Amino acid sequence: MAEVVELQKLKLAELRQECEARGLETKGNKGELIARLQAYLDEHEEDVDVDDVLAEDAVVAPAEKKVVKIAPPLTTGERLQKRAERFNVPATTESKKAIRAARFGLPTDASSPSPGLVANSKAAVNVDQLKKRAERFGMNVSSISQKIEEDEKLKKRKERFGILTSATSAGAPDVEAKKMKRAERFGKV
């Protein structure tokens, strides 16, 4: 690199890097940087190759290696346990089920209840909440609340117009009595 021809071939960024490596000022244009480097090389007369200087920076970076410990392979149970500790989650399926049951208000015992009981208890819990929401927004969004509202409307209508909600066999004598009174009033036709 002692030759001026080699310094001329270098780009400005490379010249600045060379100056910085030798502790020279890096400000200036290409001609000034070449002159500084040439003067420095004449004084010290070191035959330093550009590739060596550039390689020094590259060598320094890989020198910092990370130490990786190689542990014996873990069983799946140990691996799941460590993962659970690391992410703060339950490790076993039983504990997962217990946490889920507590979150949704389900019974925590091991026997699974019938689907009908779960659906009824869930609907009973949500009915008040759905009614409040319907009042707040002025309309029912949930299909469950719409069905409940329709059932209530039908029940009120039946009570208003005299249709009994109990068994129809008890209503049969009343119907016959009404027919008899009507026949007496208007005469038999």
Q: Tell me the per-residue pLDDT of 77-101, one tens digit each, with 9 for 90 and over.
A: 788 778 888 887 776 778 788 888 8
| Residue 131 binned pLDDT confidence (cut-offs 50, 70, 90) | confident
Lowest mean pLDDT among 23-37, 53-67, 75-89, 95-109: 53-67
φ/ψ bin of 187: left (φ > 0), alpha (ψ from -120 to 50), beta (otherwise): left
Lowest mean pLDDT among 14-28, 120-134, 150-164: 120-134
DSSP state of 138: T
Domain ranges (residues) in the chain:
4-63
Stretch (H or E) spanning 58: helix 50-63
Is this structure's pTM higher than 0.85?
A: no
Tens-digit pLDDT profile for residues 170-181: 567 789 899 999
Residue 81: both structure tokens together: 């346990």
Q: Is 149 exposed, middle or buried (0-12, 13-18, 19+ CB in 10 A)?
A: middle
Separation of CA 99 from chain center: 19
Taking the CA atoms of residue 47, residue 51, residue 52 and residue 54 in that order, the dihedral angle to the nearest 10 degrees is: 130
Q: Report whether pLDDT(26) > 80.
A: yes
